[in-house]
Amino acid sequence: MELARSWFTSSSPIVPKEFGALLNSHSLTRGVKIESGQPELVTPLPERGEGRNHDLVLIGKRRGLSVTICVEAKVDEPFGNQTVGGYWLEARKKRDRIKNPVTSKAPERIESLLRIVFGNSAKPDHDPWSGIRYQLLAAIAGTVLQAEQAGSFFAVFAVHEFHTDAIDGDRALENTSAFEHLVRVLTGHHELKVEPGKLYGPIRIFANQYLHKDKELLVGKAVSVWRVPYRTCSK
């Protein structure tokens, strides 16, 4: 709802000022021209299961180069309920109880997503990868895979967060912490204080069995504040 109200004020997407400022915060996306946008686009992910449902995918150009921007809209709903490590362990235990290895490929999917983003050394039961929210891992992998489909060298994953009068402050802080952990692991700067309105990277995502070419990834968060205007009663 908030994303649609913010972006689709006409028949085609119009970049909100907060999101435009986010893109202009980095030299690689400064001045990017948005050419098209598609809401609720699904990118297939490895192994059996649902694809990555992007709230909005934008295709832009900067100096003749294609840029794919995948947007995740948030108010205070969490980035899923499971970490990579917790989900992987739970899925393995469940499959062992059922004793039918073809019933679920969730462990293999998690491992594949980690390899796409972090390479072969990333393990779902090891720090720092185990603490990443699974939804955020799927979002990053889906972003670079969508960039591959679009023929883009540059990929941007951006959270567009909406602060309304009804926001739950504690849940919003949990989201901030989860996103900050993701950015720290991606960049390798484990004391990094992630600020809204700033893109971080580039992070090189190397070609692998799912990506034919390397990608340069940027990540960041834009915040739009929506408040109900105060109205005085006229006598």
Q: pLDDT tens digits for 108-152?
A: 999 999 999 999 999 999 999 999 999 999 999 999 999 999 999
Residue 155 main-chain phi, psi, to 5 deg: -125, 135
- Bridge partners (DSSP) of residue 52 are 43
Percent over 70 (pLDDT), the chain: 90
Neighbours of 180 (CB within 10 A): 15
Q: What is the DSSP letter of 120?
A: T
Helix H segments across the chain? 2-7, 17-23, 84-98, 106-118, 134-150, 169-187
Chain segment 34-88, per-residue pLDDT in tens: 999 999 999 999 987 889 999 999 999 999 999 999 999 998 888 988 999 999 9
Between 69 and 235, the higher pLDDT residue? 69
Kindly state the greatest CA–CA separation across the chain.
73
Whole-prediction pTM value? 0.91
Q: Region 160-189: what's the mean pLDDT?
A: 91
Please tell me the least confidently modeled range out of 183-187, 209-213, 223-227. 223-227
Amino acid 235: pLDDT: 44
Q: So where are the chain's domains?
A: 2-225
Among 148, 164, 168, smallest CA distance to 214 is for: 148
Predicted confidence (pLDDT) at residue 232 exceeds the cutoff of 80: no
Q: What size, in residues, is the chain?
A: 235
Amino acid 230: pLDDT: 46
